[in-house]
Amino acid sequence: MTTAVRVAAMVMLLLLSCSACQAKLSSTFYANICPNALSTIRKSIRPAIARERRMAASLIRLHFHDCFVQGCDASILLDNSPSITSEKFATQNNNSLRGFEVIDHAKSAVEKVCPGVVSCADILAVAARDASEYVGGPSWTVKLGRRDSTTASASLASSQLPRFADSLRRLIDLFGSKGLSERDMVALSGSHTIGQAKCVTFRDRIYSNGSDIDAGFASTRRRKCPATPPNGDGNLAPLDLVTPNSFDNNYFKNLLRKKGLLQSDQVLFSGGSTDNIVSEYSRKPSTFKSDFATAMIKMGDIEPLTGSSGIIRRICSAVN
């Protein structure tokens, strides 16, 4: 190897090393450049949750659906354009994801304080944390410094987001592909302690007469979910029938009783490898909340754009 080649190789290693350093998110990223960023986001989203506690679940879900497609880059927020096919219309998102206007409102508020500084991706991450805390869930220190994508991928959204009828094996593989463990997966699924689902997502389960669903629970859910589609497709039911507006561990207690609303919920307690985790969380709410916070931090670390990658969008739904 010539001296010139060796020098070039060393320079490349140094560049790669610097890139790795830049890629690290930090909880103090905005401390000097926009010190009021987090409080501005919090003040912006709280009225929306106060009006409708279901919005807390929607904001947590937005962050989740963002991070699973191209990483935590706010690609989920981009609308259709000549150069972008929006992820909003993928099967798992279409007529299902909500809260976009809450994020837009938060972005507008932050832009007034610090124009062109705070990314939409970071707003999604902070909003998810604040939403959890507002409804009695855990809080955690959000790592910041993500930048926004200039692309979206409807095809990746279709292939990499969980579906309501997924098997346990499929779920484990999907979460594993993002660096998340089975324990992370079960903890994150516990966000279904709040929020609601449409009849179309649980109709097959409640009419299956299967051994994995409580008969009384199925009968109750059938009252507002007719057997024949599309009748009642959009009718809503709480994911947690007991305490639908509180972030607690009743979701896991429901699974033990075969009262998971979605098939993808009940498979977490169906004789498989995650049964013990569900049982543990049903007994230990503090363990669930602690693990949920840890898993949310891990999820927020999925392939962020940092440094000079990506952009800071002026509005979250479009590329500058």
Residues noted as catalytic = 65
Distance of alpha carbon 122 from alpha carbon 114, whole angstroms: 14
- Alpha carbon distance 92, 154 (integer Å): 10
Q: What's the token pair of residue 238?
A: 């709480």
Where do runs of H (alpha helix) occur along the chain?
Answer: 3-22, 37-51, 54-67, 100-113, 120-134, 154-160, 168-177, 182-189, 199-206, 215-222, 250-256, 263-266, 275-283, 285-300
SS3 of 269-311: HCCCCCHHHHHHHHHCHHHHHHHHHHHHHHHHCCCCECCCCCE
Please check whether residue 199 is in contact with residue 224, taking contact to mean a CB–CB distance below 8 angstroms: yes
Q: What is the distance between the alpha carbons of residues 149 and 304, in angstroms, rounded to a whole number?
A: 9
Q: 3-state DSSP call for residue 237? A: strand
Distance CA 181, CA 255 (A): 20
Tokens for 198, please give them. Answer: 């449409």
Run of H or E residues at 194: none
Residues 309, 287: Cα–Cα separation, whole Å: 37
Helix (H) or strand (E) holding 27: none
